[in-house]
A and B are shown apart, each in its own frame.
Chain A
């Protein structure tokens, strides 16, 4: 059946398939930045159909070889921007060296979406309810960006500014994300509270901790669906560093969350409820971490 005539509702746009990063950047600049890169399309296409966005040009980046692939580079895992959510589940290097991403992946949407949606697209979009952007914070990852002025790497801690606002400038491309390799003295935990499997969570959290026997030397805790951007829970982290995961310190971390999170007004999940859920989730995850996660 030809859906062409009847079903397309997006505004008209032109399409360009880029073969290299330079072609993609160039096409964007020539369109006077009235353009969008399209990767998995799992966020962009709905936005086009809803006419929330109406760019003049779509630049397909899915054929750029340099954006693909997962490999070790020194102390890091280089995860190409085009790595799809489903590959987070199937790629052995990720399971071994970035197990937190592997653990988060089943919670991202549904199989059909995971088959197309990309890591780079998810981080570029920076939806505050998304799992992966928040996990880049917990992992202390670096985001590699290509733009008119060349390449640069931005720490995840310095990448997410505000609602859908990031260090990425218009016309810039995420090429890869660098994640420090998971080490033997580390533990991680991930979970979220979503109404239905695959939904965006009411609250979600991932954490990565370094231990000396049962004492926490370092911990990075990151929440999503708690505000305008993915959030580190630094006060909670501080309440834990240097201690074991006993009931007292877990409670202290839960109490400290008040200083970390300021959930927005919402008709369905009032701020106090979201903070409560974040505390419950934090307590459960720290409990699991204590058991060796």
Chain B
């Protein structure tokens, strides 16, 4: 039997094909070039003395002994760096009324979280720098601290920022339709309060930076493990007063980022200043404990939610309050408000109801900052919505699939606008639900569950529908005044040997950006993928663009590459037409050869065109100026975001005597539009799901009453590990966006968005026979046993 031919059967048809990442072998072979590995001539090393107090006045700092230690080059305090670095403030204009205190690399007179960097030492090596830290004496005077959300909101609470009126950073309300009316007339109302712990990214490679200021050239080069080099080029330029063209940020290989490495960190800003003060390269790599106390944390929400339904199970309305605590400052330049904003805007997103009210309150506290991390806001919105839907289903005696099928926006009803103002181009909830039910073997799982319950084995089945925000336009940050680009740029050149180099502004953190860009360029130009070299992550050579955030690399970066490659192809064919005395439209490129478009007969290799253009332009007709380098930018237009959707399911077992949860199997049906590389898409989904499962069961930054992080090591902070992870089955529904030629949407956050919601629903499903319920994430043995009243 032969399968019918598809578009993949064309030569060089790489879009839609599972191909290995060209850089995977290099990284596996240990040939990665991480900032952590970098050693420059004359390089020095920084270490930071950190505050042991969550909130305290700095009375005095004694550094004489540290300065005197052999091998120490500089000891710098907040005051030293404040003379050369201007302060920053983590607010955006479109979050009306939000406040945050100005920040400096190191504090002048007050520390606001335990672990905050206070003094920097630069020495010949890291060990000497750390020796010197032990010789520094800081005298602190304790100030009252704010640690929990409730305390922070009380009228007589101590203030994180003395002089402000309260600990509120931002407050907003959405109200559409007739919420009170809907609840007044509802046949059923379900209500719950949820809590979501803090967790953090735990990248394999911690934050790493080498700043190298050359006073002779007035030039700053920063090797920075970040996903957004252009953003940092702009910030270093503006805060240190160096012209942008003299600031170069290089982000080579990066050992994981997940959003964590796109924020401004005090240590990183300090290291730039230290290099400027010394005129020598200065390196800083966070160690694991420093990562726990200074990398952004994520989540930390308390959500109270109500849902109203009619007698048949039609959802009528939701009413939500989200309290989220963000630490002592809002992060810069993206703020710490986006997470909460996305929670309240995404709640209920898969469903048809029109009456929605949500209040968001973002609160300061004496802990390290929280901010954007993979699937910003999504897991909270999804868990709240999907748990409410399950509670409603239980109340009405409906099956979880049935109530969702009844309430999701129909696949043929698009375009749609959500009550929170999100515009959906085309989603596929119905198709995904149907597919998941088949894939899970749902009826069989239910039968097995009933059978096992008789034997005292408690299985749970959970599902969770989700919507993900991808391909953001300037509506995300640009409109708020942030100099964060939502467009991308690419420079594509034909080399003299007939290969192609593509310099592009999207960046690579191990997710395969370079792979898909080379697939798109090779596909569009008509040459072998190995003849395309993709270069990313150097502001000196790659054009300005958004880089990596919010699931935009494939959708926006990919479209940029596609359009740039098409432009280069036009230019190549124009020259080919001159040489072959044909019309360009009669020619095409296949496998690196110019061919007759109709017959596909080979006419001329493109390497020959390159040779003629670069070395024998004298043989071309007079007046010909060949353009074998094309630069091209693409800014998303049309819908402000490309929303994606999908559904996850899981099966698990709760040991009701120990509270332990065993994950048995996880499922996802996902719709990210055009799939460029199925293998990479599936990797993204699996990785994302595992991060979501970590949040669901394991990961939590726990604090003492005095604001100390009590589990800041990998022995105490539990990341998900392979032995506890289930098999993950994946299926796709493809609804390409019509806003681009490529049709791709994002996929990086879909796995994380719904995994924890799914587990929450499954655990509660398992606990049904006991009349017990959990509403806190992570779902720890202690919480399960508490719910079961076992101790």
Which residues of A come within 8 Å of B, CB atoms? 1, 5-12, 50-51, 193, 195-200, 202, 267-270, 272-273, 275-277, 280
Evaluate contact between A280 and B658: CB separation under 8 angstroms. Answer: yes
Q: Which residue of the partner chain A has the closest CB to B716?
A: A268
User: Shortest CB–CB separation between residue A285 and chain B, in angstroms?
Assistant: 13
**Known A-B contacts A6-B126, A9-B127, A267-B710; A197 and B718 likewise in contact (beta carbons under 8 Å):** no
Evaluate contact between A280 and B657: CB separation under 8 angstroms. Answer: yes
Evaluate contact between B704 and A267: CB separation under 8 angstroms. Answer: yes
Evaluate contact between A50 and B289: CB separation under 8 angstroms. Answer: yes
Evaluate contact between B130 and A9: CB separation under 8 angstroms. Answer: yes
- Complex Cα spacing A12 to B131, Å: 9
- Complex Cα spacing A196 to B658, Å: 14
Provide the residues of chain B in CB contact with A12, threshold 8 Å: 127
Provide the residues of chain B in CB contact with A270, threshold 8 Å: 782, 791
User: Shortest CB–CB separation between residue A106 and chain B, in angstroms?
Assistant: 12
Evaluate contact between B780 and A277: CB separation under 8 angstroms. Answer: no
Evaluate contact between B785 and A273: CB separation under 8 angstroms. Answer: yes
Whether B702 sits at the interface, judged by CB under 8 Å, is yes
Interface of A is mostly: loop
Q: Which residue of the partner chain B has the closest CB to A197?
A: B723
- Complex Cα spacing A90 to B660, Å: 30
User: Shortest CB–CB separation between residue B173 and chain A, in angstroms?
Assistant: 35
Evaluate contact between A197 and B126: CB separation under 8 angstroms. Answer: no
Evaluate contact between A199 and B785: CB separation under 8 angstroms. Answer: no
Q: Which residue of the partner chain A has the closest CB to B723?
A: A197
Evaluate contact between A268 and B780: CB separation under 8 angstroms. Answer: yes
Q: Which residue of the partner chain B has the closest CB to A7?
A: B126
**Known A-B contacts A267-B710, A276-B785; A200 and B715 likewise in contact (beta carbons under 8 Å):** yes
Whether B721 sits at the interface, judged by CB under 8 Å, is yes
Q: Which residue of the partner chain A has the closest CB to B786?
A: A273
**Known A-B contacts A51-B130, A193-B658; A267 and B721 likewise in contact (beta carbons under 8 Å):** no
Q: Which residue of the partner chain B has the closest CB to A4?
A: B125
Q: Among A8, A199, A275, point to the contact of B126 (Cβ < 8 A).
A: A8
**Known A-B contacts A195-B718, A196-B698; A273 and B782 likewise in contact (beta carbons under 8 Å):** yes
- Complex Cα spacing A149 to B698, Å: 49
- Complex Cα spacing A193 to B791, Å: 16
- Complex Cα spacing A66 to B791, Å: 49
Provide the residues of chain A in CB contact with B790, threshold 8 Å: 273, 276
- Complex Cα spacing A273 to B126, Å: 43
Provide the residues of chain B in CB contact with A193, threshold 8 Å: 658, 660, 781
**Known A-B contacts A197-B724, A200-B715, A267-B704; A6 and B125 likewise in contact (beta carbons under 8 Å):** yes
Provide the residues of chain A in CB contact with B131, threshold 8 Å: 11
- Complex Cα spacing A193 to B39, Å: 45
Q: Which residue of the partner chain B has the closest CB to A193?
A: B658
Whether B37 sits at the interface, judged by CB under 8 Å, is yes
Whether B287 sits at the interface, judged by CB under 8 Å, is yes
Provide the residues of chain B in CB contact with A269, threshold 8 Å: 782
Evaluate contact between B702 and A268: CB separation under 8 angstroms. Answer: yes
Q: Which residue of the partner chain B has the closest CB to A194?
A: B660
- Complex Cα spacing A128 to B127, Å: 31
Provide the residues of chain B in CB contact with A272, threshold 8 Å: 791
Whether B283 sits at the interface, judged by CB under 8 Å, is yes
- Complex Cα spacing A267 to B126, Å: 34
Q: Among B710, B721, B781, point to the contact of A202 (Cβ < 8 A).
A: B781
Evaluate contact between A196 and B126: CB separation under 8 angstroms. Answer: no
Evaluate contact between A196 and B723: CB separation under 8 angstroms. Answer: yes
- Complex Cα spacing A276 to B289, Å: 32
B 626-669 to A, binary, CB cutoff 8 A, 1 in contact else 0: 00000000000000000000000000000001101000000000
Q: Among B127, B710, B724, B780, point to the contact of A196 (Cβ < 8 A).
A: B724
Evaluate contact between B283 and A6: CB separation under 8 angstroms. Answer: yes
Evaluate contact between B721 and A197: CB separation under 8 angstroms. Answer: yes
Provide the residues of chain A in CB contact with B782, threshold 8 Å: 268-270, 273
User: Shortest CB–CB separation between residue A278 and chain B, in angstroms?
Assistant: 11
New A-B pairs, 12, CB < 8 Å, besides A195-B718, A273-B790: A5-B124, A6-B125, A6-B126, A9-B126, A9-B287, A193-B658, A193-B660, A197-B724, A198-B723, A267-B704, A277-B658, A277-B781
User: Shortest CB–CB separation between residue A164 and chain B, in angstroms?
Assistant: 16
Whether B45 sits at the interface, judged by CB under 8 Å, is yes
Provide the residues of chain B in CB contact with A280, threshold 8 Å: 657-658
Q: Among A8, A199, A200, point to the contact of B127 (Cβ < 8 A).
A: A8
Provide the residues of chain B in CB contact with A197, threshold 8 Å: 721, 723-724
Q: Which residue of the partner chain B has the closest CB to A50?
A: B289
Q: Which residue of the partner chain A has the closest CB to B124?
A: A5
- Complex Cα spacing A275 to B785, Å: 12
- Complex Cα spacing A267 to B710, Å: 9
B 742-783 to A, binary, CB cutoff 8 A, 1 in contact else 0: 000000000000000000000000000000000000001110
Provide the residues of chain B in CB contact with A11, threshold 8 Å: 127, 131
11 contacts between A and B (CB under 8 A): A6-B39, A7-B126, A8-B127, A193-B781, A195-B718, A197-B721, A198-B723, A199-B715, A275-B791, A276-B791, A280-B657
Q: Which residue of the partner chain B has the closest CB to A8?
A: B127
User: Shortest CB–CB separation between residue A261 and chain B, in angstroms?
Assistant: 13
User: Shortest CB–CB separation between residue B717 and chain A, in angstroms?
Assistant: 11
Chain B CB within 10 Å, residue with most, of A7, A270, A272, A277: A277
Provide the residues of chain A in CB contact with B718, threshold 8 Å: 195-196, 199
User: Shortest CB–CB separation between residue A92 and chain B, in angstroms?
Assistant: 27
User: Shortest CB–CB separation between residue B132 and chain A, in angstroms?
Assistant: 12
Chain A CB within 10 Å, residue with most, of B131, B657, B698, B702: B657
User: Shortest CB–CB separation between residue B288 and chain A, in angstroms?
Assistant: 10
B 694-713 to A, binary, CB cutoff 8 A, 1 in contact else 0: 00001000101000001100
